[in-house]
Chains A and B, each alone.
Chain A
Amino acid sequence: MTETEFHPKHELIREERFPHVWCPGCGLGILLQSYLNALEKSGIPSENNVLVSGIGCTARLPGYANLDSYHTTHGRAIPFATGMKLANPNLNVTVISGDGDLFNIGGNHFIHAARRNMDLLVICSNNFNYGMTGGQHGSTTPPTSKSASTPYGNIEPSFNLPYLASALGASYVARWTVMHPRQLTRSIKTAMDVKGFAFIEVLSPCPPNFGKFNGFGDGFEEMEFYRTKSVVQNDAKLEDISIDPFHGKQVVLGEFVKRKRPSYIMLEQELTAKLKEGRK
């Protein structure tokens, strides 16, 4: 075998596990590639990076990376990652999971980890529905759109994730689509250096489910729709950037929040140091 026959990222992926489980036109391959590119560019030794996920299509992503990977239970990646990070603060712990996992069943853990400014990077692939179980609606499904469980159109308002994360005090908040791989890669690399809670939302197509239910021909058509609807606006007013593309609203992307706020690990280490001094 010549060198060219290897995948360009063969050292960072588990080649023996391919082909992956994702559908044609899915955006998760781009997210995996973007994450691995960011990891390479960060200069952080790859063995120091740990990936944690919950359950769902996105939660399969860590299993394809040649890193220590933990595929946990539905919605519980963040608390699992929290325990791991506290046990060994030198680790770079990244949670990569889907919108259903992180914000429907796991929403409680997200709000508390962000409030604590826990030193984690959380990347949410948002495809607006539960892909693995057949395209049911969730808390991120845009208003009036159709899904396997909203056949007459969704009557619920949906989460505005960057606004939520910012309100909770996250140190870093961004939103991209998989049609913006360069910006996404830069954003992930930036977030890897953030002290505290970093959150990146990545919009991604789900052709056989959300795409099909809402009239998109294939994955590319859905991606192209997000791309043409997208505008990068780093200083956007976050309360205005909910996702509602079916009523003419633009999808606002960007790096919205970069703030310095003491992280949980910093405060814990301060506390421990004070205790030690007090005992001298």
Chain B
Amino acid sequence: MNLLPPGRYFADGNFAATEGAILAGCRFFAGYPITPSSEVLERMSSRLPEVGGHFIEMEDEIGSMAAILGASNGGVKSMTATSGPGFSLMQENIGLGMITETPTVVLDEMRGGPSTGIPTRVGQGDVMQTRWGSHGDLAPITYSPNSVQEAFDLQIEAFNAAETYRQPVFVASDQVVGHLTEMLEVKKIDEYDIVQRETRKVRNGSDRVFDYSNDFIPMFIAGTGFRGNVDSLTHDEKGYPSNEASVEKEMLEHLLNKVRKNEEKIVKYEEFLVEDAKLILVSYGITSRSAKQAVKEARKEGLKVGMFRPITLWPFPEKRIKELAERSKKFIVPEINYGQYSHSVREYGQSETREVHFPPGAVPDYKIILKEIERCFA
């Protein structure tokens, strides 16, 4: 099988994400080279043929996204890796994955933007794009790794979530996590929970392509005799297109509710010194490592500060943010953008929420965050 042997590796995030995906069962990759995620594509091109998988370098990111959906419907776990400009091109087919309930994983390594921006340097400007990027109503699931270890572990979780909730799942990593080299620990494969895909092979009597009363209905695989229609148009449970508002309501509420009803199972976060905190930093991805340093320094000054780190950006950790808001009343959201996730923290927390903006291009300086903490206590 040629999986990465268990052990300790000194590796970068792109290596980790690739190996995590392969361990999770990814056997198809379609992609287009783009900084800073190209090393994932390169490693996939050498690794997938070794493990019996398929690799194809497509003509663009639109084709890449279409191909991974096709592969998934053909019965193989699939993924792509990209960065902002490519992620923008993928949005339409991400919607196709949502409406056809096709599991797949998109790794987006955020860099400076808008447009071509700063290809080689870090940004966090795509977090709302993973929430609202494709048109129409969506209930996306987005993971945000802040280390090489998480680049590995969350890639596995993303595959599991994609299979469980039958939709494209995002890993919103960034240039620094992708290129950072640090310790990675890989356990034995049987120590990981890997969700194997359940399928319906043959249609039994009135079996329908979709089931809107059931959050977890196994998909059928092309060529196994099911004879189903899978459609980008709004469709009924038979998979047939419909113009009826009532069908749209039924389909859409199913698509949204299968995630919304299970938010508690999906949401992951880490907390640092929040118990007695009067002020809480909400920080994700690489920025959280600067934020944690700022909290440590502030504590030395006797300031009661803590940090809440959403590991899943979406669904938003609504319940916990509300609890923290009751207690501490004040948030600071430092981000490598000009205020994105802060809007959701303010919306759900209903508390004073200060923003600390960092331009794309560098890992945030913890001293700037510390200054904002001191200002809050002044």
Residues in A lying within 8 Å of B, measured CB to CB: 14, 17, 47-48, 50, 52, 55, 62-63, 66-73, 75-76, 78-88, 90-91, 108-109, 111-112, 268, 271-272, 275
Chain A residues positioned under 8 Å from B229 (CB to CB): 14, 62-63, 69, 71
| Residue from A17, A63, A76, A91 in contact with B74 in the complex, judged by beta carbons closer than 8 Å | A91
A57 smallest CB distance to B (angstroms):
13
Residue B60 lies at the interface, judged by CB distance under 8 Å to chain A: yes
A20 smallest CB distance to B (angstroms):
12
Chain B residues positioned under 8 Å from A275 (CB to CB): 49-50
| Residue from B66, B225, B227 in contact with A76 in the complex, judged by beta carbons closer than 8 Å | B66
Residue B4 lies at the interface, judged by CB distance under 8 Å to chain A: no
When the two chains form their complex, are residues A73 and B93 in contact, meaning their CB atoms are under 8 A apart? Answer: yes
When the two chains form their complex, are residues B70 and A82 in contact, meaning their CB atoms are under 8 A apart? Answer: yes
Residue B107 lies at the interface, judged by CB distance under 8 Å to chain A: no
Residue B222 lies at the interface, judged by CB distance under 8 Å to chain A: yes
Contact residues on B (Cβ < 8 Å of other chain), bracket: 35 or more
Q: In the bound complex, how far is the Cα of B100 from the Cα of A5, in angstroms?
A: 34
Q: In the bound complex, how far is the Cα of B63 from the Cα of A95, in angstroms?
A: 15
Q: Residue of A at shortest CB range from B240?
A: A17
A257 smallest CB distance to B (angstroms):
22
Closest 6 CB pairs of A and B: A83-B70, A87-B74, A83-B67, A79-B63, A83-B71, A79-B66
Residues in B lying within 8 Å of A, measured CB to CB: 28, 30, 49-50, 52, 54, 56, 58-60, 62-64, 66-76, 78, 92-93, 95-96, 100, 220-233, 240-241
User: A50-B222, A68-B223, A70-B230 in contact; A84/B63 too (CB < 8 A)?
Assistant: no
Can you add 17 more A-B contacts, CB < 8 Å, to A67-B227, A109-B66?
Answer: A47-B224, A47-B225, A62-B229, A63-B241, A72-B69, A76-B62, A79-B70, A80-B69, A82-B56, A83-B56, A88-B221, A91-B223, A108-B59, A108-B63, A109-B59, A268-B54, A271-B49
Q: In the bound complex, how far is the Cα of B220 from the Cα of A57, in angstroms?
A: 26
Chain A residues positioned under 8 Å from B93 (CB to CB): 72-73, 76
When the two chains form their complex, are residues A69 and B230 in contact, meaning their CB atoms are under 8 A apart? Answer: yes
A130 smallest CB distance to B (angstroms):
17
Among A78, A81, A85, A87: residue with most chain B CB under 10 A:
A87
Chain A residues positioned under 8 Å from B92 (CB to CB): 73, 76
Chain B residues positioned under 8 Å from A70 (CB to CB): 70, 73, 100, 222, 230
- B-side binding surface: helix, strand, loop or mixed? mixed
Q: Residue of A at shortest CB range from B74?
A: A87
Chain B residues positioned under 8 Å from A79 (CB to CB): 30, 58-59, 62-64, 66-67, 70
| Residue from A68, A78, A84, A272 in contact with B226 in the complex, judged by beta carbons closer than 8 Å | A68
A258 smallest CB distance to B (angstroms):
26
- What are 21 sample pairs from A and B whose C-beta atoms fall under 8 A apart? A47-B224, A68-B230, A73-B96, A75-B62, A76-B66, A78-B63, A79-B70, A82-B70, A83-B28, A83-B72, A83-B74, A84-B70, A84-B73, A84-B74, A86-B54, A88-B223, A108-B59, A109-B59, A111-B59, A112-B58, A112-B63
Q: In the bound complex, how far is the Cα of B224 from the Cα of A48, in angstroms?
A: 7
Q: In the bound complex, how far is the Cα of B69 from the Cα of A86, in angstroms?
A: 12
Chain A residues positioned under 8 Å from B96 (CB to CB): 72-73, 76
Among A47, A62, A84, A268: residue with most chain B CB under 10 A:
A84
| Residue from A47, A73, A108 in contact with B232 in the complex, judged by beta carbons closer than 8 Å | A73
Q: In the bound complex, how far is the Cα of B59 from the Cα of A111, in angstroms?
A: 10
When the two chains form their complex, are residues B230 and A71 in contact, meaning their CB atoms are under 8 A apart? Answer: yes
Chain B residues positioned under 8 Å from A83 (CB to CB): 28, 30, 56, 66-72, 74, 78
Q: In the bound complex, how far is the Cα of B74 from the Cα of A88, in angstroms?
A: 6
Chain B residues positioned under 8 Å from A78 (CB to CB): 63
Chain A residues positioned under 8 Å from B58 (CB to CB): 79, 82, 112
User: A268-B54, A275-B50 in contact; A87/B232 too (CB < 8 A)?
Assistant: no
Q: Residue of B at shortest CB range from A55?
A: B232
Q: In the bound complex, how far is the Cα of B221 from the Cα of A111, in angstroms?
A: 28
| Residue from B49, B60, B70, B223 in contact with A48 in the complex, judged by beta carbons closer than 8 Å | B223
Q: In the bound complex, how far is the Cα of B50 from the Cα of A91, in angstroms?
A: 23
When the two chains form their complex, are residues B226 and A112 in contact, meaning their CB atoms are under 8 A apart? Answer: no
Chain A residues positioned under 8 Å from B233 (CB to CB): 71
When the two chains form their complex, are residues B76 and A87 in contact, meaning their CB atoms are under 8 A apart? Answer: yes
Among B52, B66, B71, B93: residue with most chain A CB under 10 A:
B66
Chain A residues positioned under 8 Å from B60 (CB to CB): 108
Q: In the bound complex, how far is the Cα of B70 from the Cα of A271, in angstroms?
A: 22
Chain B residues positioned under 8 Å from A87 (CB to CB): 28, 54, 70-76, 78
When the two chains form their complex, are residues B227 and A86 in contact, meaning their CB atoms are under 8 A apart? Answer: no
When the two chains form their complex, are residues B66 and A86 in contact, meaning their CB atoms are under 8 A apart? Answer: no
Q: In the bound complex, how far is the Cα of B52 from the Cα of A251, in angstroms?
A: 47
